[in-house]
Amino acid sequence: MKVKALKFILTVAAVLGLALVTSHFHSDSSAQAATKPSYSEAYKVAKKQLGKPYGWGSTGPSRFDCSGLTKYVFKKGAGKTLHRTAQSQYNHYKKVSYKNIKKGDLVFFGGSKHSISHVGMYIGNGKMIDSQNRGVIVERVKAPWWNYVGSARPVNFAS
């Protein structure tokens, strides 16, 4: 009788353990799907910064340089910590061609891929939000005063 009782207890424990493990993995994948960053949240954060002044080396929240703005927006709006400088952001994230650019991608400017001096966040229709000498503004990516070098996708935003 003791053997049957022990087998029963072990079977129940195994079933409960399996149910617990399965539940844990299911809730983790559901949580990841539910918390995938959205472009609209990042855009809301970026839009709230419009009009704030430029400050060399500034990372917000009252003033920004270009990479300080993108770092701030992605941390607050997408939960993603970006590298600090425009060059480092360019170096570390997946490159995308201009024809495949999506809202929320980063756009980079400078002399070459080895001398990136500016970054902004693409918001669609050929425009970006960036921080430059006129402060945080919306402007065209292909403006004549910027030498577009490339784009990168630090986050795959939820559709």
User: So which residues are the catalytic ones?
Assistant: 66, 118, 130
Q: How many CB atoms lie within 10 A of CB 109?
A: 23
**135 dihedral zone (left: phi>0; alpha: psi -120 to 50; beta):** left
Angle at 35 between CA 42 and CA 99, to 5 degrees: 50
Q: Per the omega criterion (within 30 degrees of 0), is the bond before 61 cis?
A: yes
Q: How many CB atoms lie within 10 A of CB 55?
A: 15
Q: Which residues pair with 152 in a beta bridge?
A: 95, 106
